[in-house]
Structure 1
Amino acid sequence: MTWTSDRPAEEAPISLLGWLRVAVRGLCLAALVFGGLFVLLALRLAERPLFGLRRPWTPYITQFVCRGAFYILGIKHETEGAQMTTAGAIVANHSSWLDIFALNARKRVYFVSKSEVASWPGIGWLARATGTVFIRRDPRDAKIQQDIFEARLLVGHKLLFFPEGTSTDGLRLLPFKPTLFQAFFADPLRERLAVQPVTVVYEAPKGEEDRFYGWWGDMAFGPHLLKTLSAPRGGEVRIKYHRPLAVADFQDRKALAKAAEVAVRDGLPKEKLTAGKAYDKALGPLS
């Protein structure tokens, strides 16, 4: 499923000064990302045989790169609430490719992503290097995926899911799909794990539309990256950590998914949800 809007995001032409910002920021970002990737892969050569699935060193490289990316882009990054320290998983709303940087910048997490991402140029390479778990949306793979989740969670990895199943414009929250929550109810995990809901909130740069950082539907990555790099001023992203939900406190995956959805929705500012409803009313139904 892919969420899309009847009205595309506003795309203003990039000025000469904007292209200069693209060049400077783009070169700095590329040096940071690919330089960090080189260091990460070099460390992983020693980390893998010594620690196997455990990654005691390389996640710090990922965090450094992600924090630096927001500095280069001029986007303010803030967090609220306490991060979960016990074993478990993270679930969050999904608005943009920037979510990957935003959620990695403050917490050591490993993303769960659709298998197609592994073949994407650039993003796919980074995802594989940072330990992303790739899954196919095929019921026949459910047992294999559950085994993978169990192995990663039992060694202390905090897996991060986007239960909406798609990204949006950041002005709404789609119902959480309960399918992936089933893995938390396996016998080795249910009594040990908690799930922490996290809300990601973007504020657009001054003078830009609310959906500036949103990346959805069939929007291409390249133009969205150029728009972000060329912006004369950056916006802000806030990560809100909510109270962890003990898996053992819930009867089944649907109840847990609903509780997590409610927590994430409560973290979205009312004005964001109101703006989303205004778009829906003014532009017609969104699919």
Structure 2
Amino acid sequence: MILRLLFLALVVLPFTLVGLPIQALILAFNRPGWTILPRMFFKLMAFGLGLRVKIVGAPVKNGPVLLVANHISWLDIPAIASKFPVCFVAKSEIANWPVVGFMARLQKTVFVNRDRRTDAGRTASEMKDRIEEGSNVLLFAEGTSDIGTHVLPFRSALMGAARQAMAEGTGREVVVQPMTIAYTALSGLPLSRHERPKVAWIGDMGVGDNLKTILSSGPKDVTIAFGDPIRGDGDRKTIAKTAEREVRRMLVALNRGQPLQ
């Protein structure tokens, strides 16, 4: 834990202090290459937090693509963003968090108020803008995080609104691609159910306690798997169910150490 704290304090923090104003200027003047600094930052974060990330498959590259995934922990964010550039869709409360909210904006995060149905249209429009810029957009479709042993029902409303808005903005049908996040091992040993609180964000768990547990635990193996893309021209509820089944199938296989078919 001490070594990780030293790395975060002596490497990640200085990089952040130098990189934040540079990133702000890049976005303010709409310069290319805005994904470079965030990706470097998340690579350092992933290393400092003990994440060992493995990728299975790849996101569709001839977009527009809407990635939909399960959600287990805030560790999902550095794990994913350390491997490829992506714009996250996050709950609106995060925008007001000190430092974190500011940093999320510098990565072009789209914020959504899940308690207001009328917010779906605005959020979908912002997601469309990210796609038009050539960015990957990732939606944690469960709407919350879970322990990582199963997948909660996917919410179809925002998925459907985003798909429609992006299709209208790009003039092309949007492909929906399932993506699964699985924490499979801790210190090289299979992750048991009672050890999952060492990585998962569960219930009303406090930030301080969760961070302390993560820093004091061993290396954490994370697998990010991409499923077959789903055509986006069907019923949104059907698409959500299909994506949910695929994410669940991949999660079960990864948790059991089985190869993905």
TM-score normalised by the shorter chain: which range applies?
0.7 to 0.9
What does residue 57 of structure 2 align with?
81
Match of 1:164 among 108, 119, 142: 142
TM-score (norm 1): 0.77
Letter in 2 for 1:75: L
Task: For residue 90 of structure 1, give the secondary structure of its aligned residue in structure 2.
Answer: strand
- Bigger RCO (CA 8 Å, 6+ sep): 1
Aligned ranges for residues 172-251 of structure 1 at < 5 Å? 172-183=150-161, 184-186=163-165, 188=168, 191-206=172-187, 209-231=195-217, 233-248=218-233, 250=234
Measured in 2, the distance between the counterparts of 1:75 and 1:132 equals 22
Deviation at 1:88, TM superposition (A): 1.6
CA contact (8 A) 2:68 2:139 kept: yes
Deviation at 1:179, TM superposition (A): 0.9
Structure whose alpha-carbon radius of gyration is higher: 1
CA contact (8 A) 1:110 1:130 kept: yes
Measured in 1, the distance between the counterparts of 2:225 and 2:109 equals 22
Going from structure 1 to structure 2, the CA distance change for 1:77 and 1:145 (only over 3 Å counts) comes to closer
CA contact (8 A) 1:169 1:211 kept: yes
The answer to whether 1:41 aligns with 2:20 is no
254-263 vs 99-108, which moves further = 99-108
Going from structure 1 to structure 2, the CA distance change for 1:230 and 1:25 (only over 3 Å counts) comes to farther
165-174 vs 181-190, which moves further = 181-190
Going from structure 1 to structure 2, the CA distance change for 1:190 and 1:257 (only over 3 Å counts) comes to farther
CA contact (8 A) 1:171 1:211 kept: no
Deviation at 1:22, TM superposition (A): 4.9
Letter in 2 for 1:193: V
The answer to whether 1:136 aligns with 2:104 is no
CA contact (8 A) 1:25 1:229 kept: no
Aligned ranges for residues 117-156 of structure 1 at < 5 Å? 117-137=94-114, 138-156=116-134
CA contact (8 A) 1:185 1:253 kept: no
Task: For residue 222 of structure 2, give the secondary structure of its aligned residue in structure 1.
Answer: strand
Measured in 2, the distance between the counterparts of 1:190 and 1:246 equals 15
What does residue 240 of structure 2 align with?
257
Going from structure 1 to structure 2, the CA distance change for 1:74 and 1:155 (only over 3 Å counts) comes to closer
Letter in 1 for 2:176: V
Report how many aligned residue pairs link the two structures.
Answer: 246
Percent sequence identity over matched residues? 32
CA contact (8 A) 1:32 1:68 kept: no
Measured in 2, the distance between the counterparts of 1:140 and 1:70 equals 36
Measured in 2, the distance between the counterparts of 1:38 and 1:216 equals 33
Going from structure 1 to structure 2, the CA distance change for 1:238 and 1:43 (only over 3 Å counts) comes to same
Letter in 2 for 1:236: D
TM-score (norm 2): 0.85
What does residue 279 of structure 1 align with?
none
